[in-house]
């Protein structure tokens, strides 16, 4: 399952539960306002509590909480990459004020020989400008391992279409794995506030077929380019 699919299921189930709870509470509220109004001739009960129903209700709450705890704990680890073929593609991402640099340490092909970057490449490069956003190219159907760091402040790489983001910290490398199951080109954004041009720190995320990817990697081999136009 890709992260997007897991997100879709969890979001749907939680929205349904939340919606049901909301409708129930709103219903009780409206019932009270209509039927228990002074104008409707209601008389107040002075019963201080209903220990029986309350205990039952707490039991229900505990059951719901236990279900959600168990279920989300399961969902947290449900993202798998079993359908991915071949060695993982490694991409190194360096965020900086205010753009992104993408490098492919294995020459875009296979697993990297070099360890993850501990010192970020020297910034600054030019800021992301409309029409010149850098592109992160990945093949579909293969595991992509992203190693992300920052050259200055904290940023966050977010591709809304993938329903996923991960922070880029300076002096620290975060690694995450993803698989993309269809081709397309989607906008990526910086989600962590990072200063003046935070609002414009965009990039393109492009998923292509493994064949196109091999051709692209070949044509870019050796350059390992940031902001490769694709």
10 Å CB burial of residue 25 (0-12, 13-18, 19+) is exposed
Of 154 and 226, CB closest to another protein:
154
Residue 122 DSSP code: P
Instruction: From 23, 8, 35, 30, select the one nearest 161 (Cα to Cα).
Output: 8
Window of 106-114, 121-129, 151-159, 216-224 that interacts with another protein by CB under 8 A: 151-159
| Sign for the pseudo-dihedral over CA of 84, 115, 208, 183 | positive
Write the binding mask 79 to 98 for another protein: x where contact by CB under 8 A, - elsewhere: ------------------x-
Is residue 187 near another protein by the rule CB under 8 A? yes
CB of 105 to another protein, least distance (A): 19
d(CA 221, CA 230): 14
Q: Which residues in 200-229 contact another protein (CB under 8 A)?
A: none
Of 204 and 225, CB closest to another protein:
204
Of 91, 127, 153, 215, the one binding another protein by CB under 8 A: 153
Helix (H) or strand (E) holding 60: helix 51-76
Of 86 and 160, CB closest to another protein:
160
d(CA 131, CA 214): 25
Is residue 115 near another protein by the rule CB under 8 A? no
Contact between 70 and 104 (Cβ < 8 Å): no
* Number of residues engaging another protein in binding (CB under 8 A): 77
C-alpha dist (Å) from residue 179 to 25, 62, 141: 40, 36, 6
Instruction: Detail the DSSP E strand segments found in 122-202.
Output: 135-139, 144-150, 155-159, 164-168, 174-178, 184-190
Window of 51-59, 85-93, 101-109, 210-218 that interacts with another protein by CB under 8 A: 51-59
Of 110, 117, 121, 174, the one binding another protein by CB under 8 A: 174
C-alpha dist (Å) from residue 224 to 50, 70, 107, 137: 69, 43, 6, 12
Of 81 and 165, CB closest to another protein:
165
Window of 10-18, 80-88, 119-127, 212-220 that interacts with another protein by CB under 8 A: 10-18
Window of 75-83, 100-108, 133-141, 203-211 that interacts with another protein by CB under 8 A: 75-83
Of 107, 121, 167, 220, the one binding another protein by CB under 8 A: 167
């Amino acid at each position: 399952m890709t992260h997007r699919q897991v997100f879709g299921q969890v979001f749907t189930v939680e929205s349904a539960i939340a919606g049901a709870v909301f409708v129930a509470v709103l219903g009780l509220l409206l019932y009270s306002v209509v039927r228990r109004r002074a104008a409707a001739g209601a008389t107040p009960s002075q019963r201080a509590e209903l220990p029986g129903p309350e205990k039952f209700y707490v039991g229900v709450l505990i059951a719901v909480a236990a279900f959600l705890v168990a279920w989300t704990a399961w969902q947290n680890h449900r993202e798998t990459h079993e359908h991915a073929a071949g060695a993982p593609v490694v991409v190194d991402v360096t965020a900086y004020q205010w753009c992104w640099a993408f490098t492919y340490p294995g020459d875009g092909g296979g697993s990297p020989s070099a360890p993850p970057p501990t010192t970020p490449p020297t910034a600054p490069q030019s800021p992301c400008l409309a029409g010149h956003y850098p592109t992160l190219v990945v093949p579909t159907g293969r595991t992509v391992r992203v190693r992300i760091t920052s050259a200055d402040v904290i940023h966050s790489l977010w591709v809304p279409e993938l329903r996923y983001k991960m922070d880029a910290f300076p002096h620290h490398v975060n690694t995450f794995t993803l698989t993309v199951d269809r081709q397309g080109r989607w906008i990526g954004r910086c989600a962590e506030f990072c200063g003046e041009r935070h609002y414009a720190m965009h990039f393109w995320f492009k998923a292509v077929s493994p064949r196109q990817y091999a051709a692209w990697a070949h044509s870019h081999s050796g350059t390992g380019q940031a902001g490769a136009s694709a």
